[in-house]
């Protein structure tokens, strides 16, 4: 007779879950035993911190489209999951979190690790249940999987340690709870917008003369359809960060990223368009959309709640991006080659020249842009690239040109530090044999440094570029630009990351000058197993939006005289392209 933990794990297997990320503990030992006895059907990946388990489950779901699962013990084990689970909530990734509890008859008695995790998880979850007994598990385990997938969010099950080992005795089942009354499968289909709404959207786009497309993660499975739409509309395609891989960065229609980490071409395409088509994106920075009244809007999203969230669209197409675009394309009229797209392409050409200037290999100290571009050029055509949150994100967004076949992952709306390494490990677990790479900062990498040993343990072929400036660089610039405050509290105690990698059984390399880049990268990319490449870069290199808003410039000038290293910063912003970006 199966117990509750065994029912849970068998349910995961029935739902085609292949891996669970987590850490054991006495509050979850029953589930661990069920996993141990089913290792031929489902894998357990041991992490060094539960936060990473949740990040990995989220990343796994985003990389694969499948259900990501993480596991933690009672009390602090469960609370450690929260940051990674909020990453899943905000980026709409299907994740199941399983947590333990103390004995069922000691809950709420101030016993050890007595935390009401169902209450704690209430905000982050689309489904949240405390399992009452083994018969209850038969129902809620399947429902949790189904809800996470259907609603693209976090489901949570909390199970008392003794309930985990309780057998499903038919004599103790309630009369209304019939066994096997729910199937272990997901029923899904692609929704389609109404014809009238498609006709309305097509009329708006056909009438417009300057259409800009904004593509996000929801468009990743619709690259061919999106490319055809862009051709029909002769439209530039700006990419939200989560949609970086939707079209290769050298595609003639793409203007790269958007926002503070984006390009001048994308910003100008948004500012000067007379219609915008938003495909699978909830890009959160409203100030980078067209001003209301300056452009008409059409939006495609599988979630009706997201339609019109950032921009007052006139036509909302609720449906799968690929199928909706196919239906829309049939209604679009081919526009002639036009000045609007050509102007965007010319601006993008000038932007690339500016970026090449910033990547000057002769500069000393070493510029982070220089090493980021060199690293990106080494990546194989099927590389899965993860990045963390900070200046490293800007480097990946602007200075790594993704090619067709490459994938990109990042903590999007949550923008959490300490996520990049977990995303990379999850990619390696999900796609064994594919090359994996990560660009991280020394701040975020240090937060979960121990997780690099997880990459070593599971033999992830991970090339990790650590941007080492001994500074929380993006935060420092935000202090100056957003509020006009001098940088404070952002300097970091240096860590020898190359030595740390070697201490964990991996290979560590260091780059301090531009003339070392080619030789060191040759050695690093030839090395077997996980690798850390520590690049010591200029800590005072500016993080600049494509156009510096006047209030940002004013705040920056106010803060600069009192900021440590202000002389070096002055030198850097006097150089191109920072000088032009400051004056834009």
Q: Which residues of the chain have pLDDT under 70?
A: 171, 174-176, 178, 180-190, 584
Angstrom distances, CA of residue 406 to CA of 245, 356, 382, 463: 7, 22, 5, 15
Give the torsion sign (CA, 284, 285, 288, 294): positive
> Pairing mode, if any, of strands 95-101 and 125-130?
unpaired
Task: Report the predicted TM-score, pTM, of the whole model to 2 decimal places.
Answer: 0.96
For residue 537, report the phi and psi dihedrals to the nearest 5 degrees: -120, 170
What are the helix (H) ranges across 166-300? 195-207, 223-233, 264-272
192: buried, middle or exposed (CB in 10 Å: 19+, 13-18, 0-12)? middle
Distance CA(198)–CA(191), nearest Å, equals 13
Asked if 543 and 394 count as a contact pair (C-beta separation under 8 A), the reply is yes
Q: DSSP 3-state assignment of 37?
A: coil
Asked if 81 and 47 count as a contact pair (C-beta separation under 8 A), the reply is no
Q: Which CATH architecture has domain 4-172?
A: 3-Layer(aba) Sandwich (3.40)
For residue 141, report the phi and psi dihedrals to the nearest 5 degrees: -65, -45
pLDDT of residue 181: 63
**Topology of the domain covering 359-583:** Rossmann fold (3.40.50)
For the CA atoms of 155, 407, 389, 518, what is the dihedral angle to 10 degrees? 150
pLDDT of residue 469: 98
Smallest Cα–Cα separation from 303: which of 242, 229, 413, 217? 217
Q: DSSP 3-state assignment of 386?
A: strand
E strand or H helix that includes residue 438: strand 436-441
pLDDT of residue 543: 82
Asked if 84 and 78 count as a contact pair (C-beta separation under 8 A), the reply is no
Smallest Cα–Cα separation from 543: which of 491, 503, 505, 581? 581
For 488, the token pair is: 């404070």
pLDDT of residue 104: 85
For residue 17, report the phi and psi dihedrals to the nearest 5 degrees: -75, 130
Smallest Cα–Cα separation from 418: which of 398, 397, 393? 393
Within 13 Å and on the Cβ side, how many CA atoms surround 172? 10
- Would you tell me the crossing angle of helices 264-272 and 339-358 to the nearest 10 degrees? 150
DSSP 89-139: HHHT--EEEEEEES-GGGTTTT-TT---HHHHTTTTEEEEEE--SHHHHHH
What are the helix (H) ranges across 334-379? 339-358, 368-378
**Topology of the domain covering 195-346:** Rossmann fold (3.40.50)
Which residue reads 């503070």 in tokens? 260
Long-range CB contacts for residues 335-342, cutoff 8 Å, separation at least 24:
335/232, 335/233, 335/234, 336/234, 337/234, 338/209, 338/210, 338/234, 340/209, 340/210, 340/211, 340/234, 340/235, 340/236, 340/272, 340/273, 341/234, 341/235, 341/236, 341/253
Q: Where in the chain is the domain with CATH 3.40.50.1220?
A: 195-346
Which residues, including other chains, have CB under 8 Å from residue 439's CB and lie 6 or more apart? 372, 375, 385, 386, 387, 388, 392, 395, 396, 400, 420, 465, 467
Angstrom distances, CA of residue 179 to CA of 11, 50, 171, 186, 482: 14, 34, 12, 19, 58
pLDDT of residue 112: 80
Distance CA(468)–CA(488), nearest Å, equals 18
Asked if 232 and 253 count as a contact pair (C-beta separation under 8 A), the reply is no
Other CB atoms within 10 Å distance of the CB of residue 333: 10
Distance CA(381)–CA(407), nearest Å, equals 9
Q: Where in the chain is the domain with CATH 3.40.50.970?
A: 4-172, 359-583
């Amino acid at each position: 007779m199966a117990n509750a933990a065994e029912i849970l794990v068998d349910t995961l297997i029935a739902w085609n879950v292949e891996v669970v990320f987590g850490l054991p503990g006495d509050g979850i030992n029953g589930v661990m035993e069920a996993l141990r006895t089913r290792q031929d059907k489902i894998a357990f990946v041991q992490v060094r911190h539960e936060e990473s388990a949740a990040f990995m489950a989220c990343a796994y779901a985003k990389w694969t489209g499948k259900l990501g699962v993480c596991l933690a013990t009672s009390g602090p084990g469960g609370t450690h999951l929260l940051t990674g689970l909020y990453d899943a909530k905000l980026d709409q990734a299907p994740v199941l979190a399983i947590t333990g509890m103390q004995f069922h008859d000691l809950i709420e008695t101030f016993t050890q690790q007595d935390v009401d995790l169902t209450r704690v998880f209430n905000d982050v979850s689309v489904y949240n249940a405390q399992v009452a007994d083994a018969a209850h598990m038969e129902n809620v385990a399947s429902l949790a999987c189904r809800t996470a997938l259907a609603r693209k969010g976090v489901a949570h099950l909390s199970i008392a340690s003794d309930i985990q080992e309780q057998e499903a005795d038919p004599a103790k089942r309630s009369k209304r709870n019939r066994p096997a009354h729910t199937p272990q499968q997901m029923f899904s289909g692609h929704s389609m917008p109404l014809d009238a709404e498609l006709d309305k959207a097509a009329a708006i786009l056909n009438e417009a003369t300057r259409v800009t497309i904004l593509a996000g993660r929801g468009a990743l499975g619709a690259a061919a359809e999106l490319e055809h739409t862009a051709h029909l509309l002769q439209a530039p395609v700006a990419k939200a960060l989560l949609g970086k891989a939707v079209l290769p960065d050298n595609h003639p229609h793409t203007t790269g990223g958007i926002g503070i980490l984006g390009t001048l071409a994308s910003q100008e395409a948004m500012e000067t368009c007379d219609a915008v088509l938003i495909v699978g994106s909830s890009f959160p920075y409203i100030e980078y959309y067209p001003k209301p009244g300056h452009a008409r809007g059409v939006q495609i999203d599988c979630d009706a709640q997201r339609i019109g969230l950032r921009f007052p669209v006139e036509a909302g197409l609720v449906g799968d991006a690929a199928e909706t675009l196919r239906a829309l394309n049939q209604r679009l009229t081919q526009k002639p080659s036009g000045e609007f797209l050509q102007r965007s392409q010319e601006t993008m050409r000038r932007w690339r020249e500016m970026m090449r200037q910033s990547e000057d290999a002769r500069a000393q100290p070493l510029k982070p842009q220089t090493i980021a571009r060199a690293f990106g050029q080494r990546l194989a055509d099927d590389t899965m690239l993860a990045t963390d949150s900070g200046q490293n994100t800007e480097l990946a967004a602007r200075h790594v040109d993704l090619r067709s076949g490459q994938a990109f992952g990042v903590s999007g709306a949550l923008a959490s530090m300490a996520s990049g390494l977990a995303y990379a490990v999850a990619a390696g677990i999900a796609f064994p044999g594919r090359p994996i790479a990560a660009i991280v900062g020394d701040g975020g990498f240090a937060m979960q440094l121990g997780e690099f040993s997880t990459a070593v343990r599971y033999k992830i072929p991970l090339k990790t570029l650590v941007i080492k400036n001994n500074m929380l660089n993006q935060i420092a610039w935000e202090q100056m630009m957003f509020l006009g405050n001098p940088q404070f509290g952002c300097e970091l105690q240096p860590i020898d990351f190359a030595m740390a990698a070697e201490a964990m059984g991996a290979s560590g390399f260091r780059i301090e000058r531009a003339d070392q880049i080619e030789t060191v990268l040759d050695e690093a990319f030839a090395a077997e197993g996980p690798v850390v490449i520590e690049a010591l870069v200029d800590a005072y290199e500016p993080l600049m939006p494509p156009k510096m808003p006047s209030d940002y410039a004013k705040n920056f000038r106010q803060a600069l005289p009192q900021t440590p290293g202000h002389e070096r910063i002055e030198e850097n912003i006097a150089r191109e392209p920072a000088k032009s970006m400051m004056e834009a």
